[in-house]
Amino acid sequence: MSSSAPSPVARLRGLRPTWLSDPKVWRTEVLGGLVVALALIPEAISFSIIAGVDPALGLFASFTMAVVMSVVGGRRAMISAATGAVALVIAPLNREHGLGYLIAAVILAGVFQVALGALGVARMMRFIPRSVMVGFVNSLAILIFMAQVPEMRNVPWAVYPLIAAGLALMVFFPKITTVIPAPLVSIVVLTATTLAAGIAVPTVGDKGALPSSLPVPGLPDVPFTLDTLTTIAPYAFAMALVGLMESLMTARLVDEITDTHSNKTRESVGQGIANIVTGFFGGMGGCAMIGQTMINVKVSGARTRLSTFLAGTFLMVLCIVFGPIVSDIPMAALVAVMVMVSFATFDWRSLAPKSLKRIPAGEIVVMLVTVACVVTTHNLAIGVVVGSITAMVIFAKRVARHAHLTSVTDPGGGSVVYAVTGELFFASSNDLVGRFNYATDPDKVVIDLSAAHIWDASSVAALDAIETKYAQRGKTVEITGLNDPSADIHGKLSGELVSH
């Protein structure tokens, strides 16, 4: 034979991702992970303060979430860590019942997320319209910026030129080279400048003490009773929903940025597994982080799971090995990075005059409602839910207007034909009953539904009510033109819905 089958080793080599042999990809992923790790430290400490726990718990959560999700997550290059959304949900539990209950709630939230993921909750993402997605992105950008404002209040004057210098570096350094991420250059330059010049400004170390050792696994210090379960269950379920909502929306955003597809079901289950692991390691739990994800994907250009894994790994290495150096990083450097991320995240096209003229008014309202809810409550899940409900109401009203009724009376006066056009559902069929001339119509009435479609029981009930009103006057009604799905639902429900 002139050719032979490839050996098992050759076949295995063929299964390896192509990026494994590309030095440029390795450099991008490693540097991206390092920048994310540096940005994670003050964020994790801040969220720990919100939750009312030791800063180490937020850092441990960021470490375990990132590392575990790099393996089990459904969206490559997305960063999961301790987040403000989760901190806000579990803070009352920690305040009222203590740390043990918080850790137990994190584990239970992970179990809920695994269950919800297995049940297919990720498929609900297709019902979130684009206007809500734009509102979600814009509100995240606003929240990222708002989170930096406290770092610019009541601070030494030197903070402001440092922030300006950091922004300038990130804008102009990529014009020289993109080999090294501009945020990393900005952090290094500003840190070296403050140390060399002895400039006294707030630093990462001022946020809280960094951990000096790796987290140790263990069980939460709570009684394993039904009372404990009923206490933590509401908080755990709320955390599970908020975490999944933020993670799936972030995954969808990264899909659009990278023009790639992610496995949302795997992401949902993975978030649960990561929170379970995080809980057993004493972390405060978390979910996807839009700010750090944007640093990794949009600013650094990372695209693989390696950057996610290294973000968590570098985080612990920086804290344990290089803690004293990391503590000297000026907060101004990280504020500059997050301000740049905020600017890059915001969808500026959504506010462009040309876009506003072309986009339907209803979609603009949905976007603004989503932004207002998120910014007001600081809860992404509430904003997305309220925005989606608003979009559904506007859509229902818009479609309901497309249901039309025309009538043609037989020249002999013996019958009348009503032609119904459009979609018949609860919003459009409710006023259908009042649009017929029951008293003056002939004895025979034909309702032609050839250009209509019956969607729900409300429409069947409306048709039954019309027939009943005519019958009370001794007149007959014939319904014609039903397509197969409409005929099916009408046949099943007709006569069962109108009370007598």
- Rounded Cα distance between 431 and 424, Å, is 11
**Looking at the chain, how many residues does it have?**
500
CA nearest to 388, candidates 401, 374, 402, 403: 374
What angle do helix axes 484-493 and 457-471 make, rounded to 10 degrees? Answer: 70
Quote the pLDDT of residue 306.
Answer: 94
- Rounded Cα distance between 192 and 35, Å, is 16
Expressed in angstroms, the distance from the first to the final Cα of the chain is: 85
Quote the pLDDT of residue 86.
Answer: 87
Question: Each residue of 22-44: pLDDT tens digit?
Answer: 788 889 999 999 999 988 888 88
* pLDDT (mean) for 112-128: 89
Quote the pLDDT of residue 139.
Answer: 87
- Rounded Cα distance between 133 and 195, Å, is 42
Quote the pLDDT of residue 177.
Answer: 83
Quote the pLDDT of residue 61.
Answer: 95
- Which tokens is 122 given? 């990720």
| Residue 498 confidence (pLDDT) above 80 | no
CA nearest to 406, candidates 390, 393, 394, 422: 422
* pLDDT (mean) for 232-251: 90
User: What's the pTM value of the predicted model, to 2 decimals?
Assistant: 0.74
Question: Each residue of 242-286: pLDDT tens digit?
Answer: 899 889 989 988 998 999 999 999 999 999 999 999 999 999 999
Confidence of residue 164 (pLDDT cuts 50, 70, 90): very high
Q: Taking the CB of residue 199, how many other CB atoms lie within 10 A of it?
A: 16
| Residue 330 confidence (pLDDT) above 80 | yes
CA nearest to 93, candidates 107, 80, 81: 107
Return all residues near 470 (Cβ < 8 A) that are at least 6 apart. Answer: 436, 438, 441, 445, 476, 477
Question: Each residue of 394-431: pLDDT tens digit?
Answer: 888 887 777 788 888 877 778 899 999 988 988 888 77
For Cα atoms 217, 33, 57, give the angle at the middle one, nearest 5 degrees: 30
Using CA atoms in the order 452, 458, 462, 465, what is the torsion angle rounded to 10 degrees? 150
Quote the pLDDT of residue 1.
Answer: 43
Confidence of residue 471 (pLDDT cuts 50, 70, 90): very high
H or E, element range at 420: strand 415-424
Q: Taking the CB of residue 382, how many other CB atoms lie within 10 A of it?
A: 17
Confidence of residue 106 (pLDDT cuts 50, 70, 90): very high
Confidence of residue 18 (pLDDT cuts 50, 70, 90): low
* pLDDT (mean) for 177-201: 89
Quote the pLDDT of residue 121.
Answer: 87
C-alpha atoms less than 13 angstroms from C-alpha of 137 in its C-beta half-sphere: 23
Amino acid letter, residue 397: K
Residue-wise DSSP of 336-386: HHHHHHHHHHS-GGGG-HHHHHHS-HHHHHHHHHHHHHHHHH--HHHHHHH
CA nearest to 387, candidates 364, 410, 370: 370
500 versus 232: which is more confidently predicted? 232
Return all residues near 164 (Cβ < 8 A) that are at least 6 apart. Answer: none
